A and B are shown apart, each in its own frame.
Chain A
Amino acid sequence: MNYWQFRRQLYQQALKQWLESLTQVSTGIVALFPMALYALLLLPLLALGVLADKDSHGESFFYTLWGYLLLAYCWIAMQKEALAAADYTLYDRSLPVPVWQRGATELGLLLYAANVFVIGPAAVLLAMVYGHFAELISGELWVSIMQLYPVSGLLVLTLYYCQNAMGRVKPWLSLGLLPLVAMPWAASMHSPWLCLLGLAIAILIERTVCLPAPSLAGLPLGFWRLFLQQDINHTKPTLLRAVVVLLVLVIGATFVRQIDVSAKAPASLFLAFVLGVVAATKLLELQSLRRDYQYYLNALPISHRDSTVQALGYCLVYCLPGVLLIVIFNLLSLSQWGLFLLTYAATQVGILLRPGYYLIFPLMAALIYLGVGYLV
């Protein structure tokens, strides 16, 4: 077995365990929406139609690009430990493998893991280069550049964010703050140029300006400290949750705004339901933390009921930035906010009462809500 095969086997082994745990977590979702996973895989391909077209409207290019890059970043960030063979780092470092071979293997593994996002733009770019070959050799370079720049930009950015997801620099500006701030002006963007240029500048800034480390001074000292410090030290679940909320909102902004008025309300209701479930499932993380340290926490002079109340309170405060994001996207009407809150509450009741089947609770609540709405 050579070094490449060894690392690929470690990656696949870690991926297998990760997929098993993911299947357990997502069993409910897959049972409810059997096409959800296939649809997720098809999203990058669907997005290519918008992203490869230089005549795409700025607003749809803006939201689609944001969603595509968020999804690519999130996909690799979730597999980071598996790709880096984190469980076997010390052994791996003890192997007498040349630096170039290690680097090439890691790059190969990264491309292997990111193929869903990289192959599409790469194939489209190759096809377009082939199609514009005559213009390229005849000297009409500017015409070719104008045709090829959106998909070339997409490919470069996808590769950058896949590589970035393996490192320490978080795309807090380019995939977070900048698109959020630029949202009100998205409709007035008439060309993909502006989006690509804005992203490039934001990347440059976030690579040079380091975010200050979160200070622990002034943070709550009671039971919440346990949850808070877990979130500060293990940022990955929080990051993934933020990305999922952003993705749902971006997909919502792209599709809900473009569909027929009569279909808008049901689509927004579905969006409110999904966001309510995603926000409430933070409680699953807290319950898992409490399970991991159950003996120590049981030894504390705080009852199970009190610690559950504390977890629910923490969950509520934790979700407030997400709620703010939903407000900023302005996708939900008053009745849809009602469904969001009901779904949130029902999901948490489900997690507390029947953690294995918790999704049944929000589903029942949503059906009752829709039934009552229909009767009224």
Chain B
Amino acid sequence: MLSFTQISHHFGSRTLFCELTLSLPESRVVLTGANGSGKTTLLLIAAGILTPSQGVVSFNQQNVADIALRNQIGISASKVNLPGFFTVTDMLAFHGRQFNCKPDCHWADYRWVNAFGLTPFLNTMVEDLSLGNYKKLSLILALMHSPELLLLDEPTNGLDDKTRSALEECFETYAGQLIIASHEPQVFASNNSVRHLHLDASGVHDR
């Protein structure tokens, strides 16, 4: 379960969250909100990669700032800039090694690379990838170590139909907790056990 306790965060003089306390026991959560409402920032804070101005975020009673928890969290967000000087293969190999989850097969045969159609771009530099392929790579990196908490920011942005289908299939079968920030209302449209949250200037509200 993901919990936010007394979270406050400011960007300069602008307050994004003020003493936000929230528990998310649901396995599927969708965050919506206008541009700049703080969806991505909330995901970054939940992943433990952005320290809030105040408060604590915990996942399964463990502080997400704890390095030991990194293996249990996966995040894909446009703000999580990937090293552009790696080729896709180098990026996957580097990431796999860091999380100790390198597959036994060749990257061209790797499940997510195949499912997302990234095989033809394995030798492409990350900085040369199109928006859609960059998103695919970011999603694969988030999924690679099978985290218990998966945080995805606008995961379907720029993706082709084939990849969208593969991603939706992944969402349906994913065993861990999945939190998605999205503008698209059809995410989890067929799933009734999804918690929908809306962010605005006054805070986070259930919909």
Q: Do A and B come from one complex?
A: yes
A interface residues with partner B (beta carbon < 8 Å): 216, 221-223, 225-226, 229-230, 232-234, 292-296, 298-303
B155 at the interface (CB under 8 A from A): no
Evaluate contact between A225 and B48: CB separation under 8 angstroms: no
Minimal beta-carbon separation of B192 from chain A (angstroms): 31
The answer for the CA separation of A294 and B80 in the assembled complex, in Å, is: 8
> Which B residues are CB-close (under 8 A) to A293?
81-83
Q: A295-B44, A301-B98 are in contact. Are A230 and B70 (CB under 8 A)?
A: no
Given contacts A225-B94, A299-B49, A299-B73, 8 further A-B contacts (CB under 8 A): A230-B85, A292-B81, A295-B81, A296-B82, A299-B70, A301-B68, A302-B70, A303-B67
Q: A216-B90, A221-B97, A293-B81 are in contact. Are A299 and B71 (CB under 8 A)?
A: no
Minimal beta-carbon separation of A135 from chain B (angstroms): 57
Closest A residue to B99 by CB, please name it.
Answer: A301
Number of interface residues of B (CB under 8 A): 27
B170 at the interface (CB under 8 A from A): no
Evaluate contact between A300 and B81: CB separation under 8 angstroms: no
Evaluate contact between A296 and B97: CB separation under 8 angstroms: no
Closest A residue to B79 by CB, please name it.
Answer: A295
Evaluate contact between A230 and B83: CB separation under 8 angstroms: yes
Closest A residue to B70 by CB, please name it.
Answer: A301
Q: Mark B64-99, 1 if CB is under 8 A from A, else 0.
A: 000110110101010111110110001001110111
Evaluate contact between B81 and A302: CB separation under 8 angstroms: no
Minimal beta-carbon separation of B106 from chain A (angstroms): 16
> Which A residues are CB-close (under 8 A) to B79?
295
The contact of B85 among A221, A222, A223, A234, by CB within 8 Å, is A234
The answer for the CA separation of A300 and B74 in the assembled complex, in Å, is: 9
Closest A residue to B151 by CB, please name it.
Answer: A299
Give 11 A-B contacts (CB < 8 Å), ordered by A residue.
Answer: A225-B90, A229-B90, A293-B81, A295-B81, A296-B82, A296-B83, A298-B50, A299-B49, A301-B67, A302-B70, A303-B67
The answer for the CA separation of A166 and B94 in the assembled complex, in Å, is: 33
The answer for the CA separation of A229 and B67 in the assembled complex, in Å, is: 25
Q: A230-B85, A234-B85 are in contact. Are A295 and B67 (CB under 8 A)?
A: no
> Which B residues are CB-close (under 8 A) to A221?
93-94, 97
> Which A residues are CB-close (under 8 A) to B70?
299-302
Minimal beta-carbon separation of B51 from chain A (angstroms): 9
> Which B residues are CB-close (under 8 A) to A299?
47, 49, 70, 73, 75, 80
> Which B residues are CB-close (under 8 A) to A234?
85
The answer for the CA separation of A243 and B85 in the assembled complex, in Å, is: 23
Minimal beta-carbon separation of B73 from chain A (angstroms): 7
Minimal beta-carbon separation of B71 from chain A (angstroms): 5
Closest A residue to B44 by CB, please name it.
Answer: A295
The answer for the CA separation of A300 and B125 in the assembled complex, in Å, is: 21
Can you list the 4 inter-chain pairs with the closest CB atoms, starting with the nearest?
A298-B49, A301-B70, A233-B85, A295-B80
> Which A residues are CB-close (under 8 A) to B50?
295, 298
Minimal beta-carbon separation of B100 from chain A (angstroms): 8
> Which B residues are CB-close (under 8 A) to A222?
97
Minimal beta-carbon separation of A157 from chain B (angstroms): 33
Minimal beta-carbon separation of B67 from chain A (angstroms): 5
> Which B residues are CB-close (under 8 A) to A295?
44, 49-50, 77, 79-81
The answer for the CA separation of A303 and B98 in the assembled complex, in Å, is: 12
> Which B residues are CB-close (under 8 A) to A233?
85, 125
Minimal beta-carbon separation of A304 from chain B (angstroms): 9
> Which B residues are CB-close (under 8 A) to A225?
90, 94
Minimal beta-carbon separation of A16 from chain B (angstroms): 25
Closest A residue to B93 by CB, please name it.
Answer: A221
> Which B residues are CB-close (under 8 A) to A223?
98
Evaluate contact between B85 and A229: CB separation under 8 angstroms: yes
The answer for the CA separation of A299 and B44 in the assembled complex, in Å, is: 9
Closest A residue to B85 by CB, please name it.
Answer: A233
The answer for the CA separation of A276 and B50 in the assembled complex, in Å, is: 35
> Which A residues are CB-close (under 8 A) to B77?
295
> Which A residues are CB-close (under 8 A) to B94?
221, 225-226
Evaluate contact between B81 and A229: CB separation under 8 angstroms: no
